[in-house]
Amino acid sequence: MSPADPPAPDAGRAAPVPAAEVPFLERLRRCIEQRHADGQSLALLLVDCGVIGRIDALWGYQIGDAARARIIASLRAEVLRPDDFVGELGRDHLACVLSLVEGPQLALLAAEKLLRTMNAPLWLGEAEVYASPSVGIARFPETADSAESLLRQARSACAAAGGLNSHVALYDEGQGSGTSLLVEEGRLRSAIAEDALDLVFQPQFDLRFGQIMGVEAMLRWRDGSRDLVPMRDAIAAAEAGGLVPKMISSLLNRALRNCSEFRQSAGLDLRIAINLPARCLLEPGLAELVERALRTWSLRPGRLMLEIEDTLALQAHAEAQAVILRLHEIGVKLSIDDPRAPLSSLFWLATMPFQELKIDLSVAHDWTAQARSEGVLRSLIELVHHLQLDVVAIAVADDAAAARLLELGCDFMQADFKGPPVDAEEFVARFAG
């Protein structure tokens, strides 16, 4: 359906009216006063819908209003409890207040339920539209003591959530120094702009032959203020600064240059893996950028493995699927690096040209001593092989675990005990010859 032929909104559906016509902040203040009096907690979930603005641009504000009303109705019916409430803070932003929570886990569970609800298709006439939600969580009295600070913290967490696999962030989660997520994002953005990110390389081993067969390139800050940088965090910061094309180009060329040097100076003809969040596949000209970098460093396309995170997001974007197919045509290898991918997504992934799936063993504690855990792992390896994919196990504990993985049919592994991430010079010294 073209923008010139917009769908009709639901007949008779009125725009939502705030409860008792009380402004959102005033109602939030009253709820905070109640929690202050009874010594309990509340949580604010700031939601970036990621779709209303696009609907406005394509079909107009009337259709956008109808879509937003439908989203709010779904949240009230399927996520929120009777005493919870919603505030509309902008075209794409909603504030859901959980009026009473017992610890952060309840807020996280509500956020996950919210994402499941909003990830369902939104039908506008004959058009099937998907939201792209992110959720930031702030809590009273744990992180804020007023309605204004609670809202500010939730906005900061929501901005950070857009760069996470889970699309959910607790304000200041895991930051002992108390530095806000916004400040952390600013530091990373500056590091990208100043080219202060270096690559380190972790070896990958073929379990069947006991030898090194590839490396994964990982980001690290040059100034030593931080160790490894998750790619999703780096991409989120690059997006905020408009630096995504520059960052991807720099990452690809540095990684392929090192791969070429490993081959020429050390006789190591290895494949090199680079991790990318799925949303990078929406970057214009990505396939051409990859093809150009391969030519620059005279590397066979099959030597490059792109590990894709957050594969569930691919199903909603035909453009990303087209890039996957184009990369496959070029000859680049594709790996699924998504420990959160639901089992149901494997049916869809089986239709796409991936060659590999990574299994993170850190979530299977002491699996070698648990018959049921080992049985799950064996079944998963067999399933992946039925999909005609190779299996790479990461976070392998020791040689005994590696030997058991080989017996179970696992193909490759990546493990700190066999080789932690090191810079290019140390990698050559350790593995050449």
- Check pLDDT > 60 for residue 174: no
- Check pLDDT > 80 for residue 433: no
Q: Which residue has the higher pLDDT, 278 or 429?
A: 429
pLDDT classification of 225: cutoffs 50, 70, 90: low
Residue 32 tokens, joined: 């905070």
Residues making up the chain, counted from first to last = 433
Q: What are phi and psi of 108, to 5 degrees?
A: -65, -40
Amino acid 171: pLDDT = 83
Give the residue-averaged pLDDT of 241-268: 88
The answer to whether domain 19-179 and domain 188-431 are alike in fold is no
pLDDT classification of 312: cutoffs 50, 70, 90: low
Coil, strand, or helix at residue 138?
strand
Amino acid 403: pLDDT = 95
pLDDT classification of 399: cutoffs 50, 70, 90: very high
Give the residue-averaged pLDDT of 201-222: 91
Amino acid 116: pLDDT = 85
Supply the pTM of this predicted model.
0.61
Q: Pinpoint the alpha helices (H) of 5-140.
A: 24-38, 52-59, 61-78, 104-118
Give the residue-averaged pLDDT of 292-308: 94
DSSP 303: G
- Of 276-285, 331-340, 405-414, highest mean pLDDT: 405-414
Question: pLDDT over 70 for what percent of the chain?
Answer: 84
Classify the phi-psi angles of 23: left when phi > 0, otherwise alpha if psi is within -120 to 50, otherwise beta.
beta
Q: Are 212 and 270 in contact (CB under 8 A)?
A: yes
CA gap 77, 88 in Å, rounded = 17
Please report, for the chain, the start and end positions of each structural domain, with discontinuous segments joined by +.
Answer: 19-179, 188-431
- Check pLDDT > 90 for residue 126: no
Give the residue-averaged pLDDT of 286-294: 94
Amino acid 321: pLDDT = 86
Give the residue-averaged pLDDT of 362-372: 83
Render pLDDT for 178-202 as a digit per residue (tens, 0 to 9): 344 445 566 667 777 777 788 999 9
Q: Which CATH number fits domain 188-431: 3.30.200.20, 3.40.50.1780, 3.20.20.450, 3.40.50.970?
A: 3.20.20.450
CA gap 391, 205 in Å, rounded = 12
- Check pLDDT > 50 for residue 324: yes
Least reliable range by pLDDT among 77-91, 309-323, 326-340: 309-323
CA gap 116, 96 in Å, rounded = 15
Q: Are 383 and 362 in contact (CB under 8 A)?
A: no
What are the distances in angstroms from CA 293 to CA 93, 214, 290, 330? Answer: 39, 18, 5, 12
Give the residue-averaged pLDDT of 385-400: 93
- Check pLDDT > 80 for residue 15: no
Amino acid 50: pLDDT = 84
CATH topology assigned to domain 19-179:
Alpha-Beta Plaits (3.30.70)
